[in-house]
């Protein structure tokens, strides 16, 4: 009698773990507030010293933002090379043009638009997310149901149901005895 194999886990788990770590680190860096090295004892009255003191914190924030973008770029490269499909929820939190993690109020702004005449059609609401880094816009329908993937749509169209007849077909009825 052969040994029963247990349930198979995810193949290439280390690649999933690496991509997950890169995304978590990038989102952590993107959500960090800039550190202000000012103390109450080191305040100066000179305007030039205040300007030079605020520049490192801006540079530090910019470098953290760039590091976050680099991590997202690495995550995207890893998942593309391994042919791993990213979830739509994960893709919606990343700008596909500049690889910025979209954090509401910090790196992006979101609004709900309705382009119908006078905004009368509530099903025409569209969520627009504008990236502050590259100014590109992502649009998502608010109340529309999500469409299936193309392969699944083709399967649904190819397999007609056995219960209902096709257009122009006559359904045979067997006599009961």
pLDDT grade for 39, boundaries at 50, 70 and 90: very low
The distance of Cα 19 from the centroid of its chain, to the nearest Å, equals 14
How much of the chain, in percent, has pLDDT values that exceed 90? 44
Cβ atoms of 126 and 138 within 8 Å: the answer is no
Burial, 163: exposed, middle or buried (Cβ in 10 Å; 0-12, 13-18, 19+)? exposed
pLDDT tens digit sequence for 58-76? 676 788 889 999 999 999 9
Answer yes or no: is pLDDT of 150 > 60.
yes
Task: Calculate the alpha carbon distances from 177 to 163, 171, 174 in Å.
Answer: 22, 19, 9
How many Å apart are CA 167 and CA 138, to the nearest integer? 41
């Amino acid at each position: 009698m052969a040994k029963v194999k247990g349930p198979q886990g995810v193949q290439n788990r280390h690649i999933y773990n690496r991509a997950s770590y890169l995304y978590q680190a990038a989102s952590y860096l993107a959500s960090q507030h800039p550190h202000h090295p000012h103390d109450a004892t080191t305040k100066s009255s000179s305007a030039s010293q205040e300007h030079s003191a605020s520049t490192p914190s801006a540079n530090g924030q910019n470098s953290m933002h760039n590091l976050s973008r680099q991590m997202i770029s690495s995550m995207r490269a890893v998942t593309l090379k391994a042919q791993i499909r990213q979830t739509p929820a994960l893709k919606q939190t990343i700008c596909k043009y500049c690889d910025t993690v979209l954090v509401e109020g910090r790196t992006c702004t979101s609004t709900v638009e309705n382009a119908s005449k006078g905004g009368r059609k509530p099903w025409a609401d569209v969520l627009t997310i504008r990236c502050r880094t590259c100014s590109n816009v992502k649009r998502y329908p608010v109340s529309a149901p999500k469409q299936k993937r193309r392969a699944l749509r083709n399967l649904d169209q190819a397999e007609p149901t056995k219960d209902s007849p096709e257009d122009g077909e006559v359904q045979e009825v067997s006599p009961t005895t």
